[in-house]
Every structure is written in structure tokens, then in C-alpha cells.
Structure 1
């Protein structure tokens, strides 16, 4: 047996550099590089190996461990999970900082490989700097925090263990039904240990991303169920995107006249201009999709995990005779809502369903309902777009709340309505632009309002709705698609939470454009609390009032454009629609990263359309508004599915 003598760190780098994937017989390199913030727990082990011979792996410098992991997740998602950037941290706080991003990747089924530096396997210097000590179990370290949030976890306590650990990691990362966060813990002394590794460990490995076909009986039963129904709706989930099944889904729906309803993860798999595509469904869905959903007698979910936002907390599908048919590569997700299951690849399953339904001569019972639903939503879109150009805000103030809006205009001078801004942005930026977002009210407005015919250009993280994802993931998307413009849609709250990878975008000379909606607060949650009878508590950015002792003083104005200029970005401030549109046009001409500080009026996002979101509300209160909200909650629960 031929052997190669090297350190564990060196062997790891050489292994990563030889991993490939095959999808539809197209072979491509799987690991692009490694994001890292070096600390003592990894710099002299894995870091030495990357310094000496990184092979073709790129080394990216992160600014915040959570941020660099979000960037890696955005990169993987924009590559439809067929290429990754690994992430490596030191022990202690460096490792702990990655926990949120790894959980995010696991929830969203995005392959994210992280290496955590760890305490000495020999325990000789325990406690080493930054080491977590647990008296009840000396083997527990910060790296163990990744166990409940990963799809695969391992600790390499001896050099021999690296081989099985990494082969196991690749198995999970390239499995469409299992992929998510993967953590390999690397004790810092083991990284530098020398071992005779068998040469075959470093051979080129091609991991096949399979298209498993469903069982024939499942397809047969699915066809029988569809044929028994007149008004099915098809939910296009993220699995459609990752399976490259958008065109197959479009063909099926055209043949049988079926409306297509989009989830956040499925949006942009099918062109928005497709007459059967009625847009986003659920709590953040639009009027057209939700109107059809409530009347449907069959829900055909393709590649969706049926989150509470997609199903309206299981209350959206209101037809008493509604059934559910689930097409999913994951049996776990296919079983949700007590659905009839078709377990297999989305594209393969759709093609088999299409063939079988053609043989049966099936046609849905829709007449002109789909077109009418689209037209009604178009009229609403026109209203959302045009309201932003009126000088008279009195109707808005009366409807949304005088205090918040008048305070904001007086403090910032901003008069931009959020929905009008989104409509204008769509008109002014490039047709092939990739947009990225994650938290607050923006993903809701975007799922309802955003249209695109460019495939895979809508990169919204809403499974974990993770504040801080927006800018870092935009960098990842740009690294994946350097030839396409990338825009990050971010609120002021999320910007303040995490924007460190802006500097990395400058370092890598990868232009991203930050569209920062400043409404002086956590506006989405402010709406939620006040809409359920509460006051405005700790959700607006206000000074503490010395008279009342509460945080109900004046709003805190922040010049985010100045912050961006300090980093070296080209920046703009937009206080009205004309300034916004001028900035958008000029931003396209810039070669460096851009930040547009959009002063957006609070409470000017879209409202719910025929949907309900189940949140916990106090069952007893001295506030009549809270008690009323609780009664509404119980009324909705009466009409919602229990499982």
C-alpha cells in the first residue's frame, strides 16, 4: 500500500481539494475554498497546511465567524448545493460564533461544512486559552454545541479518524435529502500530528447527487388522487429549485391547467410571467395565491417542508374536502400534513406524474379563476406601487398610526413608502439581478411583490429568518455568480446586527449593492406586538425618556451612508422616491460595493392577504386589546388543522 506521510491538517487540505460532484452526468469541483478567521486553535495546524500548499483551494478571510458561514451558505445556495466553501474557526468564541449560521444551514438544507478548532486531545495544557470546562464531563467542549444543530458531527481525536470522518461528511453534504450543517471538530494538537495516510484517501472522489425515482405504487396512487380532484394547486418549494425541476413543473401545470404557488425557497424556479404562476403563498403570500389556496380541493406540495408561513399555520387550505399530496426527496417532509406521499427526486417525480396524468386524459376544473386571481393581484400591485408618489400622507397616517409616521418624518426627513420602493427597485435594477434577504418585513413584501423571469435569482432565507444573513449571503452569491449583479435587501435592525462581510466584499473586489431600509426599528415585530394588543415595547429605536424611564423618547437617527463611506463603499441617502431612483441608476455604474440608505416610513409594508399566523398570545390580560387578540387566535385555531 502506497502511503503519504503528512500532518492531519495537510491531509485534510489535500482531501478537500480532490472532492467532486456529479449531477446529471456533469462533473464539477465541490470545494471551492475555505473561509477562516485564524486563532490559536487552528492557525498552526490547518492554517499551516493552507499556507504551505492549498492546492487549488482559495482561502477567504472572514470578519465574523457567523458572517463568513452565512457567506458560505449563500455561495452553496446560489450554486444549487453543488459547490461549497468550507469554514474554519479557532476554539471557544470563534467556534461558538458559527453556531447560528450552522443551524440556519441545517434548517434550510444547505450544505455547510465547518471545522472547529478544539481543546488538546492529550489534555496536557488544559484548560488551554478559550477552553470551556465542564466538571461533569471533561470531554465536553464548545464544539459539542454543534451536535443538535448539524446533520453530521465528528471529532478527530486521532489522525486515523480523519478518513472516516471526512468520508462521512461528504456523504451527508452531497445527499439531497440529508444535507445541512456538518461539523468536524479538530483538536489543535491533532491537527499537527504526522501520520502515514493511504494514498487512495487522496484520490479524486466523485460524489453523485442522485435523482432517486419514486415507487411506482406511490405515483399510481398520486395520479388517482389528482384525477379525483377538480381544483388542485401546486406549491413550488425549494426542492424544485435544487432539482432543476422548474421547467418540468411548468410543463405539467400547463398540460393540466394547474396554478403554481411559490414558497420563499421555490421562487424564481418558474418564471413570474408564466400565466399559471400566481406567486407567493401563505402568511407572506399574495392575494392571488391565497385566494386559490383557500378554495383548493387538493394541495400538491413539491419540494416544500410546509412551514407555518407556507400553510398559514395549517389554516390556509379551508376547503372541507381538501387533501394533500406531497412530492419530496425527504420522507420526513413528505409525511407532513398527513399527506399522501411520493418520495423521490422532484424532477423525476413530476415527469412520471405528467406521463400518467396524460394517459388518464386529466384536466383540472378551472375555467378563468387563475387569470382572474392574477388580474386582481395586478391591480393591488399597481396600488402598492403608485401610493409612493403622492404628496399627501394623511390617509396613510390615519390608517397606520400618526405617532410613528410623523415622528419618523420629523426625525429623518424620510417619506419613502416601503412597498413603493420595492416596486421601483424592481423597475430600475438589472433583469438578471440576484436579490438576497432574510428577516423582518422585507421577505414578506418580496415574496408577494417581486417578479423575475431569470432563473435562480431570488435568494431569500426564511426557514430560520436569520437576522445578519442578508449582507454576508449576498457576498456568497456574488462569489458564486461574479458575472451577475447582487443586491442585499436588509432592514436597519439586521444591518446593525451583522454587516462585517461588507469589508470582505471590498477585499475580494466583488461588488454587492446594499439596499438598507431604515425605519428606525424592528418594524416587523413592532407591527406584530401592536397588532396583538400590546404597546410598542423595545422594537423602535428610541432614546430612554428621562421623565418616564421608558424607551419612548425621540427616535435615534443614524446616518448609515456615513457608516458605509467609512468602510470605503460608494453610498447614497434616499429620502424620497426621486432620490432613490437616481441612486439606483447611478449605483449600477459603480465598480465597488454600494450602500443606499433608504429612509422608509415605518408601517408601510404589505398586509396579510387571507392568511393567519399562529403566535402565542396571553390568555389573560388587563388590556382589552390583548384579550380580543386572544379570542381571534382561538377562532382561527378552530378552523386550522391540528397536525
Structure 2
């Protein structure tokens, strides 16, 4: 068989890939010969950045790597932003691209789509980037990629194949079965020490990150046994379920949670970077831990970043949670529920004036679509929902306000999530500024008949940046942008659309939504506020 045919067979038969995101180009047509007759769905975005965001959303919703087929040169520079977002949030993504013929690499001859070194360019937004020079090495390189996804800190992996190798003949491997790979378990002595510290603690605190989302039952049980107030990152929202008595939510940037954190004598942090976009979204470096910090992470280097460490364990979050449970067999009594309740009362999120417009927005969406996945861009409703929303399971809330913080993520990532979880409704929270980066993906939503609810918060510009300029005494320049007529645009794509200005109208639009096609609901932010003030 050819190298291209072997690649597709390995993806489908060995690694269980069922969906590919890609835009065919003259350099990748041989890959599409390999796709013919295969039980793999191919989705065509309208931009390579959209392909990357769709793969990201698919991966977050399903836990399986999102896979993209991308052309040489401009295809790679276009997808680099999406790879940067996935890298920052440790999302498994396999980007397979073409590259120019082996005999022309690095020669600067002005070939179609030529870059001086495509591999070096992509290395900065991937866990590793590899140029395949021998088709016989393809199974090994793919095995390395999936070893990253299964056993290390995940993230994007880039594999580029010279166009003269796609049609090269290669022998079929002896087996297409997938090897089993188990992630590392933390050191047993270290787990025993950590458990001892937690048993002796008077004011323990637990911090759970996105690395824990595959083990929600173990996380809930450990938190309960430790009787410790627990904060989750935005990427771990839903890990403890709804209304858990120890759950502080993703609110570590707010004063009441910070005060609790400063007074914690032992802190257990699992699967979290302890990074700025989860713990310091007010950007004042005010999240301080003064107690003994225990960290558990797959990445040894991550253990020593951002906060001073007392005990570090390298290993998988799920195996760490199970290991700690074995050392904390009897429930402890640390006054955790009372401390967590006091913090939630001090937060009084539903009474915060800054969040007030979004309390009925979230409540209306939750009431109409209780089983929905929420996928967001960097936009005002997302910033509010980060604090307000409580969900029963993980993998049902993610957005681009963490990590890389790119705009344009919400719409295509929601489409990827819907493709991965077709049985559940999906809500895309986008703004009138950010959605313009990837608005063309409405065409993909219509073509694939994806019933995503696209809630577009229209506040006539880049509101968050306007506020930031005002707070820092900078004149408002470049932020009061002109928006198009989104209703007409949506209809031009063949997408149903409506405009609302108050909660009752939003509820009606959700109740009447199509079940086999996307719906764009444009919320007039100023009319919404007037309705709430009336």
C-alpha cells in the first residue's frame, strides 16, 4: 500500500480515529485517496484555524485526540493559533501536514507553499514536530504521538510528510492492534507522605485542574474524605458535580477564596498549572499560598512553576487520586463544609453587580438546555459563566479565556464538540467582536447539520478592552468597531437566526430551536440591560 493509505488505516484501525478535520489542497490529495471507502468522517472547515479549533473542541468533549489534515505552508501558519491554544490547555491534537519534496527542503527555491523550515515553525506550538523521511518509520512516529496523548502531558503533535512520500510503497504492518499504554503512577512513599500531611492539617485546601477530568468519581470521593474546601480551574468545572458542599468553583481570583487560600496550612494541587488565567484573572499576582504545597502532575517541570513547592509527585492525576484514597480510608473532620459555605456566602456571586446581567442569561440557558455542553470564546458571558455556572460532570464547559486566550475559538470549537457528542445539545457563547475571526464556520455548521445554539452577545465592540483602557487612562481607540448585520449574514449562510433583548424572548427562541440545524441567537446587550433595569 502507499504511505498515505497506511496513514489513514493506522489512524482508523489502530487508533480508533472516527473524525478528521481538513481542507484538501494540491499537496494533500493523496491522503484523500487513502480516505476513500473508510469509515472515517471528514469535516471541511472554511479555514485551517477553524479546523484546529474544531479538533480542540472535539478532544475536550470526548477525551479523544482531535485529528487534522493540513496543507503545506499557509495551512500550517493558519492552524498555529489553534495549536497554541491546545498547547496551553494540554489538549491532545494530531496535526498531519504535507511539506515540500525531500530534495527541495530548505533550498529556498520559491516552491508552492514553501517555508524555510516548517518543522521548526510548528515545534513552538506542539509537544513535538517530526518530519517523516522514511515511510517505514510511520507506525513508530504515530505511536510516539499517541504515547504523548496517553502517557505524558498531552498537547498538539505535528507530523509532516513530504509530498513525494505520500505515494511511496510501504509494507503493511504485521498487526493493526493498538498497544496498551498505562500512565505513570506517583511514587508510593510520596503518596503516603502527602496523605500524612493532609491528615495532620487543620485547614486543608484542594486545587483540582483539567488533568483530573478523567477521574471525577475519585476526585469527589477524595475531597469528601479530606473534608477540604476545593477550588477547580475553569477546565475542571463540573468535576465535583452540582452544589457539592465543598466546591468553591473557579473563583480563586476573588478575595474570599484568596483569603482562604492564604490561611490554608496544607494545599493539595493535582493536574493544574497554578497559572495566571485560572488563579489570577484580575492580573495582580494576588493568589498566594503560604502553607505546605503538595503538587501532583504528569510534567515534572510543572511541579516547580508558579508557586513554592513542599512536596512534588510526578504521575497521572487519576492514579494519584486513587492512590491517596488508599491512604485516607476514613473520612476526616476538618470543618470543610462550614469553611466552604462561609466563602460562598462572602462571594455572593448572584448579587455581584458585575455579574448581574448574566445571572438570568445563565439561568435561562440552563433551564432550557440542562444537558448542554457550554463552549465559549473570550467574551463577557463567558467571563461571568466561569464564576456562575455549576455543572454535574466535567467535559461540559470549556472556553478560550484560559491559557492562550485566543479570539475566534468558540464557534468552531462548539462544532467540534457537537461532532464528538452528537447526543447532547451544545451552546456556543460568542461575542460580536470575537465571532468575526471565524464566522465563516457557520457554513460548516449548516453543511454538517449541527444543531448548535450560537448565543452571540452583541455589545458593539471589544467591551473588555474598553473597560481595561478606561481603568488605565487610555483613550478608547480601536475598540468601538462596526459590526455587520448578523441576522442577514446568518441567513446568507442558510442558518436560522433571531434577535432577542430580554430573558423571556431568549427562552422562547430556545424552546423553538431546530433540532437538526444550527440557530444563531443574537442578544442585544444594551436592550438586555434595559429590560433588567425596568
Q: Same fold (TM over 0.5)?
A: yes
Superposition RMSD in Å: 2.6
| 1:33 aligned onto 2:4 | no
Question: Contact 1:436/1:474 (CA < 8 Å) preserved in 2?
Answer: yes
Secondary structure in structure 2 of the residue aligned to 1:474: helix
Following TM superposition, by how much is the alpha carbon of 1:367 offset from its aligned partner in structure 2, in angstroms?
7.1
Following TM superposition, by how much is the alpha carbon of 1:571 offset from its aligned partner in structure 2, in angstroms?
0.7
Alignment of 1:593-604 (within 5 A): 593-601=518-526
Question: Contact 1:91/1:130 (CA < 8 Å) preserved in 2?
Answer: yes
Following TM superposition, by how much is the alpha carbon of 1:262 offset from its aligned partner in structure 2, in angstroms?
1.5
| 1:71 aligned onto 2:54 | yes
Q: Which moved more, 1:258-267 or 1:558-567?
A: 558-567
Distance change in 2, residues 1:468/1:212 (3 Å): same
Alignment of 1:523-602 (within 5 A): 523-541=463-481, 556-587=482-513, 589-601=514-526
Following TM superposition, by how much is the alpha carbon of 1:67 offset from its aligned partner in structure 2, in angstroms?
0.3
Distance change in 2, residues 1:537/1:196 (3 Å): closer
| 1:224 aligned onto 2:205 | no
Match of residue 162 from structure 2: 187
Secondary structure in structure 2 of the residue aligned to 1:442: helix
Following TM superposition, by how much is the alpha carbon of 1:593 offset from its aligned partner in structure 2, in angstroms?
0.2
Following TM superposition, by how much is the alpha carbon of 1:526 offset from its aligned partner in structure 2, in angstroms?
1.9
Question: Deviations along 1:188-213, whole A, 9 cap, x unmatched?
Answer: 122122x241432x5222343x2432
Match of residue 111 from structure 2: 128
Alignment equivalent of 1:280, drawn from 250, 269, 281:
250
| 1:512 aligned onto 2:452 | yes
Larger radius of gyration: 1
Tell me how many residue pairs correspond in the alignment: 522
Distance change in 2, residues 1:239/1:127 (3 Å): same
Following TM superposition, by how much is the alpha carbon of 1:314 offset from its aligned partner in structure 2, in angstroms?
8.2
Match of residue 32 from structure 2: 47
Match of residue 532 from structure 2: none
Distance change in 2, residues 1:602/1:107 (3 Å): farther
Question: Deviations along 1:330-355, whole A, 9 cap, x unmatched?
Answer: 22222332322122222322233233
Following TM superposition, by how much is the alpha carbon of 1:512 offset from its aligned partner in structure 2, in angstroms?
0.6
- Cα distance in 1 for residues equivalent to 2:380 and 2:301: 30
- Cα distance in 2 for residues equivalent to 1:603 and 1:290: 32
Secondary structure in structure 2 of the residue aligned to 1:113: strand
Secondary structure in structure 2 of the residue aligned to 1:116: strand
Any stretches of 5+ residues in structure 1 without a counterpart?
1-5, 21-28, 133-139, 388-416, 542-555, 605-643
Following TM superposition, by how much is the alpha carbon of 1:570 offset from its aligned partner in structure 2, in angstroms?
1.3
| 1:197 aligned onto 2:171 | yes
Alignment equivalent of 1:307, drawn from 270, 275, 289:
275
Match of residue 260 from structure 2: 292
- Cα distance in 1 for residues equivalent to 2:158 and 2:285: 37
Question: Contact 1:308/1:314 (CA < 8 Å) preserved in 2?
Answer: no
Match of residue 443 from structure 1: 382
- Cα distance in 2 for residues equivalent to 1:534 and 1:449: 30
TM-score normalised by the chain length of structure 1: 0.76
Question: Contact 2:378/2:407 (CA < 8 Å) preserved in 1?
Answer: yes
Distance change in 2, residues 1:349/1:372 (3 Å): same
Match of residue 318 from structure 2: 347
| 1:374 aligned onto 2:344 | yes
Question: Contact 1:87/1:115 (CA < 8 Å) preserved in 2?
Answer: yes
Question: Contact 2:3/2:170 (CA < 8 Å) preserved in 1?
Answer: no
| 1:327 aligned onto 2:296 | yes
Alignment equivalent of 2:10, drawn from 15, 18, 25:
15
Secondary structure in structure 2 of the residue aligned to 1:368: helix
Distance change in 2, residues 1:528/1:207 (3 Å): farther
Following TM superposition, by how much is the alpha carbon of 1:438 offset from its aligned partner in structure 2, in angstroms?
3.4
- Cα distance in 2 for residues equivalent to 1:148 and 1:516: 33
